[in-house]
A and B are shown apart, each in its own frame.
Chain A
Amino acid sequence: GAVVSQHPSRVICKSGTSVKIECRSLDFQATTMFWYRQFPKQSLMLMATSNEGSKATYEQGVEKDKFLINHASLTLSTLTVTSAHPEDSSFYICSARRLGENIQYFGAGTRLSVL
């Protein structure tokens, strides 16, 4: 199988703090990882695409300085929400794709609540 682990599953933080979310491919090498955001009762929206060893590509309207993405290895990508505010509260989900495949494998998601 292809397992993607996302951590933490839930985080509550104060406004102004930074939060880091990890996405790991446990049994395969992920050349590309994706980060999605889902607001209540809405669908998933792609935030950015990250390729190992290069800068992430952000979708229109997503602030790259606020959502820092690092994909330093073939099994780990991190999303850091900097200076989080209540409007950043959302469900964040990552996915990973193997080289040569067109299938994404999803993590279980992280629920971020900013007070």
Chain B
Amino acid sequence: KQEVTQIPAALSVPEGENLVLNCSFTDSAIYNLQWFRQDPGKGLTSLLLIQSSQREQTSGRLNASLDKSSGRSTLYIAASQPGDSATYLCAVNTDKLIFGTGTRLQVFP
């Protein structure tokens, strides 16, 4: 059974810091992995999608990497801003999406 874990569960940092959020999964047989952002009480915003054949994807200040063989993905946020405060979810796609436990990020001025 696929299990997805995210570390840390919560993170509070001053703005300007570079951040690394971690996601690990137990079964490497995935189609792709996706990172989402969720603001309190809101739906999901897709940030980055990495296909199983890819190693990383970049969008602006965000960079996500995927090491399928070791069952790991990282989301790197450069020069964090207060507007980045949200919960970040990773999800692995094995024909259905299995979501991780999430990392609650707070960036303070």
List residues of chain A with CB under 8 Å of any chain B CB: 6, 34, 43-46, 49, 91, 93, 95, 102-104, 106-109, 111
Q: Are B32 and A102 in contact, CB atoms less than 8 angstroms apart?
A: yes
7 new A-B contacts at CB < 8 Å, known A43-B100, A102-B93: A43-B102, A91-B41, A102-B32, A102-B95, A103-B34, A106-B46, A109-B42
> Which secondary structure characterizes the binding site on chain A?
strand
Which of the residues A6, A104, A108 comes within 8 Å of B97, measured between beta carbons? A104
**Chain B neighbourhood of A109, CB < 8 A:** 42-44
Interface string of B21-46 (1 = CB under 8 A from A): 00000000001101000000111101
Within 8 Å of chain A (Cβ to Cβ): is B63? no
Q: Are A34 and B32 in contact, CB atoms less than 8 angstroms apart?
A: no
Chain A residue nearest to B49 in the complex (CB)? A103
Tier of interface size on chain B? 20 to 34
**Chain B neighbourhood of A6, CB < 8 A:** 43
Which 3 A/B pairs are nearest by Cβ-Cβ distance?
A108-B43, A109-B43, A102-B31
Provide 16 A-B residue pairs closer than 8 Å at the C-beta atoms, listed in order of the A residue. A6-B43, A43-B99, A44-B89, A44-B91, A44-B99, A46-B96, A49-B96, A93-B43, A95-B97, A102-B32, A102-B93, A104-B93, A104-B97, A106-B44, A108-B43, A111-B41
List residues of chain B with CB under 8 Å of any chain A CB: 31-32, 34, 41-44, 46, 49, 89, 91, 93, 95-102
Residue with the highest number of chain A CB atoms closer than 10 Å, among B31, B41, B49, B97: B97
Give the shortest distance, in Å, between B21 (CB) and chain A (any CB). Answer: 14
Residue with the highest number of chain A CB atoms closer than 10 Å, among B46, B89, B96: B96
